[in-house]
A and B are shown apart, each in its own frame.
Chain A
Amino acid sequence: MNATGYGWLVLGAPLVGMLIIALGWRVLPGRSAGWLGSASIGISFLASVGMLIELVDRPEESRALVGTAYTYVETAGFRADLSILVDPLSVFMCLVVSGVSFLIHLYSISYMTSDQGFARFFAYLNFFVFSMLLLILAANFVLLLVGWAFVGAASYLLISFWYRRGTATAAGIKAFVINVIGDVGLVIGAFLLFDATGALDYASIFAAAPEVFARNDAQLVGACLMILVGAFAKSAQLPLHTWLPDAMEGPTPVSALIHAATMVTAGVYLIARCHPLFELAPIAADVSAILGTATLIFAASVAMTATDLKRVIAYSTMSQIGYMILGVSVAAYGAGLFHLMTHAFFKALLFMGAGSVIAAMGGIQSLDRMGGFRKAMPFTFVTFTIGALALAGFPLFAGFFSKDEILAYALERGGGYAVLGIVGYIAALLTAFYAGRMVFRVFFGLSVPEADELAKGHLAHGSHANPATGEEEDTDVGFPGSEHHVAEREWPMKLAMAPLALLAVVAGVLGIPGVTETLEHFLEPTFEDSRFAEVHPTAAAEWVGLAAGGLVAIIGLGAAFLYFMRDPGRRVATRERFAGVHRVLINKWYFDEIFDHAIVRPVAASGRFGRSVVESAFVQGVLVGGTVGVVRAGTSLARSIQTGELRSYAALLLVGVSALILYFLIVSS
């Protein structure tokens, strides 16, 4: 089979899996829906490996293949094919997405066992993976938009998976609305590009762009900014980020899959994919780099005070995606995508560990309630700590190489970019600190009753209540199931977490500066047309950056150790001393409140105005009432003629006919 054949298989397997599970949920016994879903993603992963092998066999200059199934639309001057693009970038993304998705499916088989919506969960999950792969493999903007919107829909379905939980449905709606803002942006961006180039497939647009657009052409900058709106909404970057923390209402595997490893990185992929455009419009690329940097420091600062374990990881995700956005915006494509991959590994791992801890707590997510799980959950402790070290950029772990490579590129570009790089190092310090904070607060310190019970072999299943509001819940469909599952007792969960832990440690070998750089070489054919292809920090500069990054990570972790382990009392003291700062951070810099006042309330007020004045007074009163009045007056006139008396009808008839005859007689004479 050739590479595009494998490409169609990559897409087909999850689609078929989704259809089988969605249509056959009634007859699929026990956990079989989960195994079926995992198997379909496994096939997808194997097909991705097939694509990789086929692609590597080909000479470097012909590593971009387009496979067309059929022509979707064809009219005068416009043609959209249902076609996929197999090139190093899409193959790389397919491998990451299908690989991590497979492991998360495996994890979910155990994690969701007692949930009444088990089969529904896997149907959604397969649908999500299909959409994500479609987004990645699309060879034109039409198919990209289909995948883009599908992914948003899947995200909505999965965030609101426990659909009887009010907070979950509200979070789902919030995510969907912001995603749709992004979709609209992307549509407008694609239209602006089509308007100028007359094409919608990547190859034609990128080929035509240098001829139709001057550097920083207004229309091109507009198109790129609109594409950025789409990318930022999907990737939860400022100012379209508020949905991601709320999305943690979904089941933990969903957070791991969609809101850490795959979907939220779609924006990074899009910017990397459209790099010829962004290089022609440096203004847009700079906007992207600045917003990415702003997000990475903002999210890191919020993650330091958030008390909900999953939200800490969610803010950390935003922060890490900020690094990736910064990377692909300063033309460090290889580095940005390298970080995308390592982040997918360690962040999925962190979420899986968090899921295990939350299960052990019987559904409670607050860090304030956790502590001392080290003894009771050795496997979770080890894997979570590996994930946290990789996140912090501890020397030789995966995140160490990838994050510092991005920053090295930013410093290499110099000027304003160097400032962004330095901000990145400051955020790295915060990252190490909050990564340490998570580990120390969850696994060390005084052990909570749940941890003691678990050490004795009893797993707390907790009360069935919404952890956010404390509302009572049952365990029927639409709410979480009755039982919780921890990694220590479920081999599929261990099987999913162990490879990720391994990868979080060793994935760095794909990009050791001056030694391997495998990934960068593999991605080279996609990015060789870049103006910045030759801009590359020297290995020595990168090693200096790595040393600085490692030092920052160790300082941050050390600070967290001193802070949370040595002297727990200081925590409260600091919080009181910097009460103002703490309040800003714990309220997430008041972004939700600002949006509420700036957008939600004015819109709601205009809605109320519309309903009370425009609707009731103008539409109901003038338009509807006026029409009714005219018709009523007309009909009452017509009705008064209809007396129902036969003789008057006859008289009218006679008079009428006589009048007509008289008229014609007079006219004719």
Chain B
Amino acid sequence: MNTSWFVVLSAFIFCVGATGVMSRRSPLVVLLCLELMLNAGNLALVAFARMLGNEEGQIFALIVVVVAACEVVIGLGIIVGMFRRRLPIDVDQMTELRG
């Protein structure tokens, strides 16, 4: 199968994720969409690895999976913490970093 199909799919998933990150207000969904973007990247890596016939892209994909897992742990932890302190679960209201 032609590599371009995988790349097109990967780009589509990436755009879905990016749109989600920018348009949704729930931090949970934002995290989810981030995962989508990461995995879109993974898909592209694996696809190109297959095309070139070596394993380096796959190794990178594995590393990205590990990083994504860590990131999700932290992100979810923050969200749980916010929930416990009864803070609004809404990214539009989390503007404490405004200068």
Contacts and interface: CB of A to CB of B under 8 A. Distances in A.
A382 B20 CA distance: 113
Contact of A647 (B21, B97, B98, B99): B21
Contacts of A638: 99
A646 B98 contact: no
Given A650-B21, A651-B22, A643 B95 contact: yes
A577 interface: no
Given A647-B91, A647-B92, A642 B97 contact: yes
Interface residues on chain A, size class:
10 to 19
B99 A639 contact: yes
A645 interface: yes
A654 B30 CA distance: 15
Contacts of B52: none
Interface in A594-650: 638-647, 650
Contacts of B21: 647, 650
Contacts of B92: 645-647
Contacts of B16: none
Nearest to B23: A647
A646 B75 CA distance: 14
A641 B99 contact: yes
A647 B22 contact: yes
A644 B95 CA distance: 4
A651 B30 CA distance: 13
B49 interface: no
Contacts of B22: 647, 650-651, 654
B27 to A, nearest CB: 8
A650 B94 CA distance: 14
Contacts of B99: 638-642, 644
Nearest to A635: B99
Nearest to B90: A646
B90 to A, nearest CB: 10
B95 to A, nearest CB: 3
Interface residues on chain B, size class:
10 to 19
Contacts of A640: 99
A645 B95 contact: yes
A644 B91 contact: no
A654 B99 CA distance: 21
A654 B18 contact: yes
Contacts of A646: 30, 91-92, 94
Interface string A387-403: 00000000000000000
A106 to B, nearest CB: 77
A206 to B, nearest CB: 73
A355 to B, nearest CB: 74
B18 A643 contact: no
A310 B50 CA distance: 108
Nearest to B34: A650
Interface in B79-99: 91-92, 94-99
B65 to A, nearest CB: 21
A644 B98 CA distance: 4
A643 B98 CA distance: 4
A645 B98 CA distance: 8
Contacts of A650: 18, 21-22
Contact of A644 (B18, B25, B97): B97
Contacts of A641: 99
A642 B96 CA distance: 10
A645 B97 CA distance: 8
Nearest to A643: B98
Contacts of A643: 95, 98
Interface string A251-267: 00000000000000000
Nearest to A651: B22
Nearest to B95: A644
A642 B98 contact: yes
Interface in B6-31: 18, 21-23, 25, 30
Contacts of A651: 22
B96 A644 contact: yes
A513 B25 CA distance: 114
A640 B95 CA distance: 13
Nearest to B33: A650
Nearest to B94: A646
A638 B99 CA distance: 8
A563 B78 CA distance: 105
Contacts of A642: 97-99
Contacts of B97: 642, 644
Nearest to B98: A644
Interface of A: 638-647, 650-651, 654
Given A647-B92, A650-B18, 16 more contacts: A639-B99, A643-B98, A644-B96, A644-B97, A645-B92, A645-B95, A645-B98, A646-B30, A646-B91, A646-B92, A646-B94, A647-B22, A647-B25, A647-B91, A650-B21, A650-B22
Interface of B: 18, 21-23, 25, 30, 91-92, 94-99
27 contacts: A638-B99, A639-B99, A640-B99, A641-B99, A642-B97, A642-B98, A643-B98, A644-B95, A644-B96, A644-B98, A645-B91, A645-B92, A645-B95, A645-B98, A646-B30, A646-B91, A646-B92, A646-B94, A647-B21, A647-B22, A647-B25, A647-B92, A650-B18, A650-B22, A651-B22, A654-B18, A654-B22
